[in-house]
Homo-oligomer: A and B are copies of this chain.
Amino acid sequence: MFVLGIDPGLTRCGYGLVERHAAGRHRAVAAGVIRTDPDADLPVRLAELQAEVRSLLGEHRPEAVAIERVLFQVNARTAMQVGQSAGVVMAEAAASGCRVALYSPNEVKSAVAGWGGADKEQMEQMVRAQLGIDRPLRPVDAADAVAVALCHLATAPTALAAEAAR
């Protein structure tokens, strides 16, 4: 089972594809950042993001897409852009037949690092530990996206059990 984790954003949208292993040691298959041209108009950037996400879904055919939920931030304009990006990703993922799950930043931190107050460095260390990776995960948006995928694998036991029973 492949899970595609997404840390949504317009300028930088992190993605991380994780393969589930029954023994619990999951494997990171691909991770990176989708960037769109900051000088382009918003609709063009959203269309770029849409095309990149569609390409990722077509290439890797994940069974589930886990997306970090957008919370309102101090900067309302940025929050709205991140929300619009998340909307585009959600629509593409659902249209491709994937299960789509949303997780708040706190849920991701709790699932991966054990508590909701974990900072970025602790999160990256926990992600590396869970995946058995001994070098730093960069860029950081990609590490965040991998964490969202791991959160899904940790917190969707019903779906996974059903899959295992097949």
Q: Which residues of A contact B (CB under 8 A)?
A: 41-44, 46-47, 49-51, 70, 72, 76, 79-80, 83-88, 90-95, 100, 102
Contacts and interface: CB of A to CB of B under 8 A. Distances in A.
Contacts of A42: 90, 102
Given A46-B90, A84-B84, A51 B95 contact: yes
Q: Which of A44, A46, A49: most chain B CB closer than 10 A?
A: A46
Copies in the complex: 2
Nearest to A51: B95
The 3 closest A-B pairs by CB, nearest first: A84-B87, A47-B94, A43-B100
Contact of A91 (B43, B70, B76): B43
Nearest to A42: B90
A102 B45 CA distance: 14
A85 to B, nearest CB: 7
Contacts of A80: 70, 72, 79-80, 83
B72 A76 contact: yes
B91 A49 contact: yes
Contacts of A83: 80, 83-84, 87
